[in-house]
Chain A
Amino acid sequence: MAEAAGSGLPNGGESQRSRWKYLDNILNRRGPFTDPEWQPGEAVIEGLSRAKILGAGGLGCEILKNLALSGFKDIHVIDMDTIDVSNLNRQFLFRHADVGKYKAEVAAKFVEKRVKGVKITPYCGKIQDKDEDYYMQFAMIVCGLDSIEARRWINATLVGMVDDENPDSMKPLIDGGTEGFKGQARVIFPTMTSCIECQLDMHAPRAAVPLCTLATIPRQPQHCIEWAHIIAWEEERKEITLDTDDPEHITWLYQKALKRAQEFNIPGVTYSMTQGVVKNIIPAIASTNAIVAASCCNEAYKIATNTNPFLGFPETDNYMMYTGDESIYTYTFQHMKKPDCPVCGNLARPLQVNPNSTLHEFLESLAERPEAQLKKPTIRTEEKSLYYQFPPSLEEQTRPNLPKKLNELVSDGEEVAIDDPAFQVQFKYKLVFQK
């Protein structure tokens, strides 16, 4: 555990480093688990302060604070959201007076002011607004995105950027997510380790309540709310676009749902439940966000400095699952790369289908399949186009295929390619007929 000589920064010198006294203990000393080749000291410190890093999503406040106090100096942040009053119970850089402002801007300003010497560049918009050239500038990307769609998009983009000739083109993706007392942190080395698409079935969508239940035989208060949301609004207020942030709209849905529930003697419809169902609210608390974001940033720090082994190194653990409602439990493991992953693999995935179901039914079923979760799929075989969502002319041309049975359109074992404009993903399935 030798002390390395000289820990000054090229443009600062000893005096300014006194602020980083604690961090430097780690940066200047070997540990029992550091690589024997690793050289502590100046080069590591310089590398850390030069590394450009991107943070995004709902865990952004925690991520920015953690990265800034880990010695990163050039941090970018992307967030399309504006601040809502319900963020204040956990997103600690925002105050009541900030409600309505862009999160990325307020957060960047706050951390820049608080932690001297760090530069934070905000972008208020979607991650999808940016192209490969933009993502190429970063050393790595730390995400706490709240939608599966956005995760799949950034994952596919980063996998697509990998150029075997250029080692710099591989950008580690560190992803965190939370739900109530649960969460996960994972590290992806695009093309080398299991990617978000490989892991999609770890986050299966909730089974939707069948429409006929909502329409004719509701049993739960949630069924009445969904009825008001999906059916009653369409019937009675079609001309108004539903805004789930408008209290008048929520009140209308609540009262509709309440009335329906009374007709069926169903207890339990409340305003808060109406909001929860309609907005698909996921409980979120400061503590879980802190845990998951810090775990992500800990991995980012280790990757940037090599001060210790990190998750995601090929053939080692790459995923930490966290549960905090019953004592504390973590499960850290290696999620295996899938050879038939539609993003980072190239094999077609066999899929059992009922040959008598229609193309329309088959496409609907893709929305609920945990590994696909496609809402607007376009499908073709090697020879013909079966159904296109866009453009309208192609849609019209292929629409007559929708009511046809699968066995009229494809042969047993035939490969189909399925795209969804929301993701830069192409699924290859080999359709195997159920006997």
Chain B
Amino acid sequence: MADLPPPVQGPTAKEKKYDRQLRLWGATGQRALEESHILLINSGPGVVGLETLKNLVLPGIGSFTIQDSAVVSEADLGINFFLEEDHLGGFRAQHTCNLLKELNPDVQGNFITEPIETFLDQPNALKPYSLIIVAAPTRPELLSKLSVHATSSLVPLFYIHSVGFYSHFSVHVAPAFPIVDTHPNPETTTDLRLVSPWPELIQFTAEKTNGLEAMSNDDHGHVPYVCLLLHYLEEWKKEHGGQVPQNYKEKTAFRNIVSKAARTNLPEGVEENYDEAVAAVLKSLNPPEPSSAVKEVFKAKECLVLSEDTSSFWIIAHAIQMFYTKHNVLPLPGSVPDMKARSADYIQLQNVYKSKARKDLGEVLESVRYLEKNLKRDTVIPERDVEAFCKNAAHIKLVRGRPFHVVQAGESIKWDDRAKSIAQTLTFPDSLIPLYIAFLAFDEFVATHNKDGLRGAPKVPGETDPEADSEKVTGIAFKIIDDLLKEAGTFVEEPDYSDVKTQTGEFVQELVRAGGAELHNIAALTGGLVSQEIIKVITEQYIPVDNTCIFDGVKSKSAVIRV
């Protein structure tokens, strides 16, 4: 070991514990989790919210708080993993909080046993929390309050149902929720700019393909495929008026040219670099066009009109949009996939791409600094943020958060701009929109039924009389469907109309059969889904659900819809 550098600092205890997740969201994602404080407003059997928290305590959020005024009953012990026999008669919030805290000593846990109604009446009651989860059933006026809070303070709000074999959750994030670090699939992100090479790349190719035909087999088999493609493209352009292959037919013809140029009858069989070149033709000869999602960001009003309190995302987006307007391409990401090549050639090629990416970044950075100055911002956007944006510019994503439905007794549901599209997909085979409607009808039943008089605990359908309640909820669901069709200004022909009603009726029946009960498996599965979405929202990485997810545990199918 004499010739080796001195021993390295191994991973820290924290890095060891979180190793398997740090490989996904990295140190920045982890830091964001550790700074979060999540509030769970629990009710009903109360399992899904706790299963959600379990999957957030394990990866190490900063703190959580459970609001729950329920007292532990015998039935809780049969379904809730975070309660024990000794806790019977005690506060559910307290005991579930304590057992959850055992999962990770790095996480702070708190509980509130005060009823939700009075808790929410306190000024600033929600101020400490960076994200709020509400488990159904809940009173509509309380859910409305939370929805207003989510809108005004931009705190993400999650609303969850887990009833029998079915579940649903909706997410309300800020009206502009941008994500830079979307973690696109590396295979779909290669951007080699073969149709518009820059001078340094042309120069490099000329060097590496000089005398290609006369090269020794060993040299010929090690020319990087990027250079091979550029070389044959040059030849093609000479015969096609300076144009690269334009359509599928031309690309196939070009591919044949490359394929035929490979040497055969070699001892090792085939030339891997030519194989790679042939395989890359169809996907690498498209001019790099920004996706519709990126164009949407460029056209957003936040991007067009900047002000001094504009967030750094929009300032960088504006600078990149300026770059795009000028060059008609996005800044070069600068990464090169692995390919058959000699080490030094590959590293040199990597550096050609990297320097171009740095040059593009420099230009964007200059615009950012100019904009900052003009806007008189007092904080400087870190260069690494601009760099991250440039690297992933083709894959940034903007989620337009909006309030989800809060069912109010006696009021019909408003679908607004979504009415037409939802009405159209209502009758698709295997559509889960009828199940979403069944959940809305469930909420309307809750909004209009009390266990014991006014402001008592909410009563859910099917607790005592599943048949009668099923009939009631089905009636509500049918009305929601008719209102939807009316709002969309459309109608559904027979037999589709009857089919949708039959399906909806079956979903309602199955929902009411549970009598408000959670099944542990469905609660655990849904808790998994919700916690995953919360992690995405907190870390601002990957792409979150927009904005409603439905799970059918009878058929083991899910759907995501925007409402």
A23→B532 contact, CB < 8 A: no
Interface 9-mer from B53-61, B227-235, B365-373: B53-61
> Known: A308-B165, A327-B543. Contact between A26 and B79, CB under 8 A?
no
Nearest B residue to A270 via CB reads B8
The tally of residues in B whose CB lies under 8 Å from a CB in A reads 92
Checking A25, A65, A264, A281 against B347 with a beta-carbon cut-off of 8 angstroms, the contacting residue is A264
Report A27 CB to chain B, min CB distance, Å: 10
A25 to B19, CA, bound (A): 42
A253 to B21, CA, bound (A): 23
B520→A219 contact, CB < 8 A: no
> Known: A85-B16, A219-B343, A327-B543. Contact between A22 and B75, CB under 8 A?
yes
> Known: A287-B532, A308-B554. Contact between A90 and B513, CB under 8 A?
no
Q: Which of A250, A297, A309: most chain B CB closer than 10 A? A: A297
Instruction: Report A's interface with B, CB cutoff 8 A.
Output: 1, 3, 18-23, 25-26, 29-33, 62, 65-66, 69-70, 85-86, 88-90, 92, 95-96, 114-116, 180-181, 185, 217-220, 247, 250-252, 254-256, 258-259, 264-266, 271-272, 275-276, 281-291, 293-295, 297-299, 301, 308-309, 311, 317, 320, 324-330, 332
Report B467 CB to chain A, min CB distance, Å: 6
Report A324 CB to chain B, min CB distance, Å: 5
Nearest B residue to A316 via CB reads B555
A218 to B183, CA, bound (A): 26
B residues in contact with A69, CB < 8 Å: 78-81, 520
B347→A284 contact, CB < 8 A: no
* Interface positions of B from 78 to 133, Cβ below 8 Å from A: 78-81, 84-85, 102-105
B555→A114 contact, CB < 8 A: no
A residues in contact with B560, CB < 8 Å: 327-329
A residues in contact with B334, CB < 8 Å: none
Is B323 close to A, CB under 8 A?
Answer: no
Checking B4, B75, B532, B557 against A291 with a beta-carbon cut-off of 8 angstroms, the contacting residue is B532
A265→B510 contact, CB < 8 A: no
Q: Which of A275, A288, A291, A297: most chain B CB closer than 10 A? A: A291
A218 to B528, CA, bound (A): 40
A residues in contact with B45, CB < 8 Å: 22
A residues in contact with B462, CB < 8 Å: 25
B11→A327 contact, CB < 8 A: no
Known: A25-B513, A295-B556. 9 other contacts (CB 8 A): A23-B78, A29-B513, A65-B81, A65-B524, A70-B520, A89-B18, A272-B19, A291-B528, A325-B542
B residues in contact with A18, CB < 8 Å: 74-75
B556→A328 contact, CB < 8 A: no
A219 to B335, CA, bound (A): 13
Checking B20, B344, B470, B509 against A281 with a beta-carbon cut-off of 8 angstroms, the contacting residue is B20
> Please, could you name 5 A-B residue pairs with CB atoms under 8 Å apart, sorted by A?
A70-B519, A89-B20, A92-B58, A219-B347, A290-B528
A285→B21 contact, CB < 8 A: yes
A290→B524 contact, CB < 8 A: yes
Is B202 close to A, CB under 8 A?
Answer: no
A252 to B10, CA, bound (A): 12
A residues in contact with B305, CB < 8 Å: none
Checking B78, B517, B524 against A293 with a beta-carbon cut-off of 8 angstroms, the contacting residue is B524
* Interface positions of B from 190 to 213, Cβ below 8 Å from A: none
> Known: A66-B521, A70-B521, A281-B20. Contact between A22 and B79, CB under 8 A?
yes
Is B531 close to A, CB under 8 A?
Answer: yes
